[in-house]
Amino acid sequence: MKKHKFRLIGIYDYTVILTYISFASAITGIFCAVTLHLKWAVFALAFSGLCDMFDGKIARTKKDRTEEGKSFGIQIDSLCDVVCFGVLPIVICYEMGMRHVVGMVILVLYGLAGVIRLGYYNVMEEKRQNHTDEARKYYQGLPITSMAVALPVLFVCSPFFPSPGAFIIGLHVLVAVVGGLFIADFPFPKPSPKKVLLIVGVVAAAVAILLFVWQGGGGFLHRHIR
């Protein structure tokens, strides 16, 4: 009887390692959110976003990628993005106060918009890569990873809202607008290296404030922050 050698399916080289790290961070963030460690949940979201900014650049350094490897990279990136920038923000926002009917409807539509966007992206990106190896210059609509910048910044700014209710309203508006822009058909320029560094700087500053300075704004949301 012929013995089959055990092996793992999938790809595990350096081209996808940041994608896997980003996914692990998001799952950790979900654990933090459901236990009301919201500060660390938002940190996990921001960290996943930072990983996503560089995973494509790292993947393109491998010049001998097979067609299967390229296709796998597209699929696994979007599948992880669903969790990192779809599910994790939904759980965070729900725990922050989007618990009523309107809030939950917005969160459902946000998640649906994210899934639709990523499915469409997969189809178009695979078609694009079959014609060129050049990096894309524009996105159609707002990238789903944008929530990894928008939500941490809003969270850090929460002490400046006049009341918890005002913050919750702002949270509803943010999720609704960002979700709508996921599927809006408009050209969104891909950030240049300088703009990427600026975004990284903004997110890093927000995370630093979140972890080392922010103390819940003198009681505002303090009972939810651990």
Q: What is the CATH number of the domain that holds 28?
A: 1.20.120
The confidence score (pLDDT) of residue 225 equals 46
pLDDT average, residue stretch 172-191: 92
Task: Report the share of the chain in percent with pLDDT over 70.
Answer: 85
Q: Return d(Cα 24, Cα 111) in angstroms, integer.
A: 19
Across 7-21, 46-60, 81-95, 126-140, which has the greatest mean pLDDT? 81-95
Number of domains in the chain: 1
List Cα–Cα distances, 86 to 69, 78, 109, 114, 193, in angstroms. Answer: 25, 10, 11, 6, 25
The confidence score (pLDDT) of residue 94 equals 96
The confidence score (pLDDT) of residue 158 equals 84
Which range is least confidently modeled, 80-89, 93-102, 158-167? Answer: 158-167
Residue 8 lies in a domain: no
Burial class (CB in 10 A: 0-12, 13-18, 19+), 150: middle
The H helix count followed by the E strand count for the chain is 8, 2
Residue 1 lies in a domain: no
pLDDT average, residue stretch 200-205: 80
* 51 has pLDDT over 80: yes
Could you report the per-residue pLDDT of 100-155, keeping only the tens digit for each? Answer: 999 999 999 999 999 999 999 888 877 766 666 666 677 888 999 999 999 998 98
Give the range of the structural domain holding residue 111, as residue numbers without chain letter: 17-224
Residue 7 lies in a domain: no
Indicate the residue type of 102.
V
pTM for this entry: 0.86
* 6 has pLDDT over 70: no
Residue 4 lies in a domain: no
* 55 has pLDDT over 80: no
Query: In the chain, what is the straight-line distance between the N-terminal and C-terminal CA atoms, in Å?
Result: 58
Residue 127 lies in a domain: yes
pLDDT average, residue stretch 205-223: 60
User: What confidence category does residue 19 fall into, taking pLDDT thresholds of 50, 70 and 90?
Assistant: very high
Q: Residue written as tokens 């799952």?
A: 27
The confidence score (pLDDT) of residue 219 equals 41
The confidence score (pLDDT) of residue 212 equals 73
Closest CA to 155 of 84, 82, 213: 213
User: What confidence category does residue 220 fall into, taking pLDDT thresholds of 50, 70 and 90?
Assistant: very low
